[in-house]
Amino acid sequence: MVSEEQLLDSAARVLAGDHSASMVQIAARTGTSRATLGRRYATREALLKAVAVRAIEVVDDCLAPVCLPETADGPAFDAALEELVVALLPVAHLYGFASRDATVLADPEFRAGVDRQDQRALAFLAHGQRLGRLRTDLPPYWIWYSLCGLLDAASEGVRDGHLAPRQTGRLVLTSFLGGTRPPGPPSA
């Protein structure tokens, strides 16, 4: 028996590759029957909402590294940033579509979850700015959106077969830090 989480992760993989996939296509590509999928989710919209709820749960877990104490130093911030990027890479591939789907975005519960996650990430990035690890002339939202865009680009590159999954962490971090680090050597 496939667990709820496994089914939602499989459905997310299908939807990440083909956002317009029907319930029949999703069932076939997840290795379940349309009847089984229909018993769990009466409509495609219900399935999308369940995938969105799962996305919030998974991203919440990925954001664990951003909970640094105020006393954290530059190297601790750098390590947490790298851990965050590595954790978010597979999630962006699975759940990135949810943040662009009109049905999902119309759900106030999903929006509240995304807003809460954004606030956690922004506080973390602002901490990096105070430590001199990130440029202060860029708004934290821009830095966060830049990271999300790079994660999305990495997931597309892997999905399209142009990038190897193992190289994307380094590529994202190199590109991200190249644009967000202050000029000169990093502060201690």
Task: Specify the amino acid at residue 132.
Answer: G
Q: Note whether residue 81 is domain-resident.
A: yes
Domain that holds residue 97: 52-180
Residue burial 62-95, b: 16+ Cβ < 10 Å; e: rest: bbebbebeeebeeebbbebbbebbebbbbbbbbb
Mean pLDDT taken over the chain: 90
- Residue 111, in any domain of the structure: yes
Enter the pTM of the model: 0.84
Reading phi first (left if > 0) and then psi (alpha if -120 to 50, else beta), residue 132 is in left
Does any domain span residue 44? Answer: no
pLDDT of residue 99: 75
Render pLDDT for 64-111 as a digit per residue (tens, 0 to 9). 989 999 899 999 999 999 999 989 988 887 777 777 778 888 888 888
pLDDT in tens, 109-128: 888 998 999 999 999 999 99
Angle at 54 between CA 51 and CA 60, to 5 degrees: 140
Distance in angstroms (rounded) separating the CA atoms of residues 187 and 128 = 10
The answer, yes or no, to whether residue 188 has pLDDT greater than 70, is no
Task: Give domain status of residue 106, yes or no.
Answer: yes
Q: Is residue 147 part of a domain?
A: yes
Q: Is residue 47 part of a domain?
A: no
In this prediction, residue 187 carries a pLDDT of: 60
Q: Map tokens 């990096």 to a residue.
A: 128
pLDDT tens per residue across span 6-44: 999 999 989 988 889 999 999 999 999 999 999 999 999
> Per the domain annotation, does 91 fall within a domain?
yes
Cα separation of 14 and 16, whole Å?
5
How many domains in the chain?
1
- Helix runs in the chain, H state only: 4-17, 23-30, 34-40, 44-62, 74-95, 102-105, 108-130, 140-159, 165-180
76 lies in some domain? yes
Contact between residue 15 and residue 26 where contact means Cβ atoms under 8 Å apart: yes
pLDDT band for position 135 (cuts 50, 70, 90)? very high
State yes or no: pLDDT of 150 exceeds 90.
yes
